[in-house]
Amino acid sequence: MLGTVLIVLGLSTACAPRVNMHGNAVQLEEIAAIEPGVYTRDRVLDTLGSPSSTDPYDDSAWYYISERTETTAFFAPEVIERQVVAIIFDEHGVVKSVDVYDKNSAEYVNPVERKTPTAGNSLGVIEQMLSNLGRFNKK
């Protein structure tokens, strides 16, 4: 009887979902405290910590990204909650705007399947091997 109970408990916990948290989760109170036109980069850094990502071209935007996923057994993870906080700075390093996006704000993009053609010859394996014969002889 005890063995059956242990097996049932073991199987039931094996199927329990695993919850994972990724990124820098920012609390709504912390976001509300950031005032556009008042806060600077240093003050945002003190309040929220370092950003998850920055604008790769001119560092005018900081992004705080967090995601909570749930995985059950061998299935793919399911996104339960996602939050992206975008803080835009002006040229003087003062906060211009604070935007909060969630999982429902996402816009999905269909990737293009076509391939870019390349210039040049298209040689097969045999042609490539035969074209290299004689190239490695020392004079």
pLDDT of residue 107: 83
- Please, which residues bridge with residue 65 across strands? 84
Structure tokens at 66: 């967090």
Give CA–CA dist 11/31, Å, rounded: 42
Instruction: Confirm whether 120 is domain-assigned.
Output: no
Residue 99 in domain: yes
For residue 68, is it within any domain? yes
Range of the domain at 50: 16-104
Instruction: Assign 88 a pLDDT band (cuts: 50, 70, 90).
Output: very high
pLDDT of residue 117: 78
Phi and psi of 136, rounded to 5°?
-100, 10
Q: Is residue 134 part of a domain?
A: no
Is residue 67 assigned to a domain?
yes
How many domains, the chain?
A: 1
Residue 71 forms part of a structural domain: yes
78 and 68 Cβ atoms separated by less than 8 Å = no
Q: Is residue 117 part of a domain?
A: no
pLDDT for res 12: 59
Q: In angstroms, rounded to a whole number, what is the distance separating the alpha carbons of residues 30 and 8?
A: 44
